Structure 1
Amino acid sequence: MSKPFVSLRPEITRTHALILMDWLEDERVTRYLSDSRSVSRFIAEAIDRTQLPILTHLFNQGGRFFMTYDRNDRPVGFVRLVKTGGDCEIVLVIGDHDNWGRSLGASSIREGLKLAFLDMRARTVIARIHPDNIGSLKAFERCGFALHHETPTLQSLSLTAGRYRQLLRSGALADTGDIFITEMDKERLEDLIACEQGAVIADLEHEIERAIVVEPKEVAPDVVTMNSRVLLHLDDEALEVALVYPHEADDRAGKLSVLSEIGAALLGYQEGDAIDWTVSERTRRIRIDRVIYQPESAGDFHL
């Protein structure tokens, strides 16, 4: 069964700030949040300090702050990542208590790990949890964290980059089903993204890392590989697209770069697969109807 879809989005508006303050006034939300008072005070000061509608720059001082959205594009919590040297601390809150018990916290942890390890290039991610916060402890443990240090009032859990990649390759952190990539495509794509950064690059690297690697002659003919042409639905819109490398991209001709949001989403999936993916700050449902052309099944191994 697929895990619940969440997305982490960096833009913070005044409306978001007011939502955050409502959450931080709820004792059920702040019960185990050690710095809730200072966070609430900071938000109030940020709102008073500027009349700008966008407050992202204020929230990213000293770290990176993200609103967590559910499948229906509703804000349900936040994630903060603070990197010091090679370590990155993750702070996570599901503020909408009506959504507690739906595993949104674990999904948010996995999204936070993707950014911490694959975008911010942390060596270790650390979570500091109150020992009575059993739900959070279990969620982090399910995502591969292990106890690093403890006191009567705090348990420090950690996960290394190496362990994270092992868990990706084993499928333990997958939000959706298996995907497949050819050895040649993987090698080319790893070279392509080696010097790139950004959320889409982190998503693509995540997919490459977790994909099952197969030889070009052994890949199933209904798998989307590089240079495949595909019929798909983006929500209710039918599209015919080709998945190409950036230098061949041409949106008007339906040639989508693998470094684009939709392009990164398609790689490795099969006919009939449907996934939720963030496109232009919205959650979209992408369904792969048919692989019209796949280089490997056509014998075009040079592409």
Structure 2
Amino acid sequence: MKPNGVKMNKPFIFLCPEITRANALTLMDWLEDEGVTRYLSDSRHVSRFIEQVIDRVQLPILTHLFNQGGRFFMAYDRHDVPVGFVRLVKKGSDCEMVLVIGNRDNWGRKLGASAIREGMKLAFFDMRAEKLIAKIHPDNARSLKAFLRSGFLLESETPTMKSFVMNSDRYLRFLRESPAAHASDITITEIDKARLKNLVEFGEGPDIFELEHEIERAIVVDPRQVAGDVVTMNSKALLEVDDEEVEVALVYPEDADDRAEKLSVCSGIGTAILGYKEGDAFSWRIPNRTCHIRIRKVLYQPEAAGDFHL
């Protein structure tokens, strides 16, 4: 058995939709490196576009300009350092992913595979794509390996391009059978899953797709068989969040009350802790930063107490 904290050292990427002026300058630096741009089909166009944006637009936030014709995300590591970018372009029910890990120092850290994972989550759960496509130069060995490891299949090839695909059904299977390196298994009960799926179906908010992702990857068990140290709905737990201890209850949105530390399962840390067990430690992105969470103790769990009506 590996110690529970080991996941904290695994590759972790978060894709941030907000693009700042500082991000644009970082992108310019990356795109001046021929090693980075060598296999990027539209690198000259991208460089010219960014240069024009920086010269003409004196705004601190440039998100709307980068999202013309697709969605652009900066990729951050667990230390909140930008390490690359992902672009998702939806055409009909298909979506194409372009991925770059920028600084050569970051190559070989498996950050590409983590960025692909996050890109798939957005494409299938947020953008509702039926099929995700990646077009890769045959000589780009790192990208080829990363996409194959992430479950993509070769669909077609020419001397200058290999086209890989992942469809939504295959992705859901892959999600359950091949967990991400940085993520521990999570467990939810059949009753919680049914209620949460209903919540997702009618839910609103920019991060509801994160909850759907967690539901779909979870191991589902009978409420009477869930281990007593798992955070289920309406559980109370002692957490360590960035070295600060906090006692919380995980509740449905209508019962949420920040002052009473009742966290909605649709909120950042609420979604994060669902299904984890005592001792688990992991990273999770909340607005503007990555936080590091450890489940210190489950203080109350409805199933363990026999409160199956909750």
Structure 1 length normalisation: TM-score?
0.98
The one-letter code of the counterpart of 2:27 is L
Which residue of 2 is the match for residue 46 of structure 1?
Answer: 53
Which residue of 1 is the match for residue 89 of structure 2?
Answer: 82
Structure-2 separation of matches of 1:122 and 1:39: 24
Shift, 1:174, TM fit: 5.6
The one-letter code of the counterpart of 1:187 is A
The one-letter code of the counterpart of 2:67 is N
The percent of aligned pairs where both chains have the same amino acid is 67
Structure 2 matches for 1:95-110, cutoff 5 A?
Answer: 95-110=102-117
Structure-2 separation of matches of 1:172 and 1:268: 14
Equivalent residue of 1:191, what SS? helix
Equivalent residue of 2:193, what SS? helix
The one-letter code of the counterpart of 2:78 is R
Equivalent residue of 1:252, what SS? helix
Shift, 1:281, TM fit: 1.8
| 1:201 corresponds to 2:214 | no
Equivalent residue of 2:207, what SS? helix
Which residue of 2 is the match for residue 19 of structure 1?
Answer: 26
Q: Moved runs in structure 1, 4+ residues, more than 6 A?
A: none
Structure-1 separation of matches of 2:72 and 2:153: 24
| 1:227 corresponds to 2:230 | no
Which residue of 1 is the match for residue 3 of structure 2?
Answer: none
Change (3 A) 1:68 1:196: same
| 1:271 corresponds to 2:281 | no
Equivalent residue of 2:114, what SS? helix
193, 196, 199: which one pairs with 1:189? 196
Structure-2 separation of matches of 1:198 and 1:160: 25
Structure-2 separation of matches of 1:106 and 1:213: 26
Structure-2 separation of matches of 1:302 and 1:197: 26
The one-letter code of the counterpart of 1:85 is G
The one-letter code of the counterpart of 2:168 is A
Shift, 1:172, TM fit: 4.3
Shift, 1:279, TM fit: 1.4
Structure 2 matches for 1:79-158, cutoff 5 A?
Answer: 79-158=86-165
Q: Which consecutive unaligned segments of at least 5 residues does structure 1 have?
A: none
Which residue of 2 is the match for residue 283 of structure 1?
Answer: 290
Structure-1 separation of matches of 2:22 and 2:176: 39
Shift, 1:197, TM fit: 5.2
Q: Which consecutive unaligned segments of at least 5 residues does structure 2 have?
A: 1-5
Shift, 1:50, TM fit: 1.2
Equivalent residue of 1:162, what SS? helix
Q: In the alignment, is the contact (CA less than 8 A) between 2:11 and 2:181 conserved in 1?
A: no
Structure-2 separation of matches of 1:115 and 1:174: 18
Aligned residues: 303
The one-letter code of the counterpart of 2:189 is T
Equivalent residue of 1:194, what SS? helix
Shift, 1:205, TM fit: 1.1
Change (3 A) 1:169 1:266: same
Structure-2 separation of matches of 1:297 and 1:289: 17
Which residue of 2 is the match for residue 8 of structure 1?
Answer: 15
Structure-1 separation of matches of 2:276 and 2:159: 47
The one-letter code of the counterpart of 1:64 is R
What does the per-residue CA deviation read over 1:247-282, in whole Å, with 9 as the maximum and x for residues that have no partner? Answer: 000000010000000000010000000110011221
Structure-2 separation of matches of 1:172 and 1:70: 18
Q: In the alignment, is the contact (CA less than 8 A) between 2:182 and 2:282 conserved in 1?
A: no
242, 258, 268: which one pairs with 1:261? 268
Structure 2 length normalisation: TM-score?
0.96
RMSD: 1.1
